[in-house]
């Protein structure tokens, strides 16, 4: 992990990802959306784009109460690149599911900006893994 992404007197990338995962696992659309900037862009693997924290929250309310009700998230950073002390690009592998084991089946890219010592996501991209990538990450 890049040292700039883990400055001890600031939020860490891992803490940011833990907040995202915990909000998903508890189906908390408001807390989930709070991890994103007011004007964030959010592109899902199906090809839809959301713009702004409000749209992210509204959409995830439906995600958590309808299509992905009861699911949990797994997320693991595989590359962290500090652009500068307050901007970091994080590539993760992740997945959602029900049960004890959740396979990695997506790549996500988070562009994080540090504000008041806390990471927030300004741009998010979620892409389904190829079969080859799933084998690489044991999905």
Domain spans, the chain: 26-136
- Return mean pLDDT, the chain: 92
- Is residue 9 within 8 Å of residue 116, measured between CB atoms? no
**Predicted confidence band of residue 139 (pLDDT cuts 50, 70, 90):** low
User: How confident is the model at residue 10, as a pLDDT?
Assistant: 73
Maximum alpha-carbon separation in the chain? 40
Q: Which residue has the higher pLDDT, 39 or 45?
A: 39
Q: In what side-by-side order are the strands of the sheet with 118-128?
A: 49-51, 36-43, 118-128, 106-115, 87-97, 72-84
CATH of region 26-136: 3.10.450.50
Q: What is the pLDDT of residues 83-119, one digit of tens each?
A: 999 999 999 999 999 988 899 999 999 999 999 999 9
Q: What is the mean pLDDT of residues 6-27?
A: 87
Cβ neighbours around 112 below 10 Å, total: 27
Question: Which is nearest to 126 in space by CA: 38, 34, 31, 24?
Answer: 24
User: How confident is the model at residue 6, as a pLDDT?
Assistant: 46
């Amino acid at each position: 992990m890049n040292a700039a992404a883990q400055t001890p007197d600031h939020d860490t990338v891992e803490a940011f990802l833990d907040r995202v995962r915990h909000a998903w696992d508890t189906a908390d659309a408001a807390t989930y959306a709070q991890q994103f900037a007011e004007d964030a862009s959010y592109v899902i693997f199906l090809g839809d784009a959301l713009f702004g924290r409000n749209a992210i929250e509204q959409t995830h309310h439906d995600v958590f109460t309808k299509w992905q009700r009861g699911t949990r998230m797994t997320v693991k950073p595989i590359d962290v690149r500090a652009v500068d002390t307050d901007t970091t690009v994080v590539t993760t592998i992740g997945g959602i599911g029900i049960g004890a084991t959740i396979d990695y089946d997506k790549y996500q890219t988070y562009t994080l900006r540090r504000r008041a010592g806390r990471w927030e996501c300004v741009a998010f991209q979620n892409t389904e893994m190829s079969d080859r990538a799933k084998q690489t990450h044991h999905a």
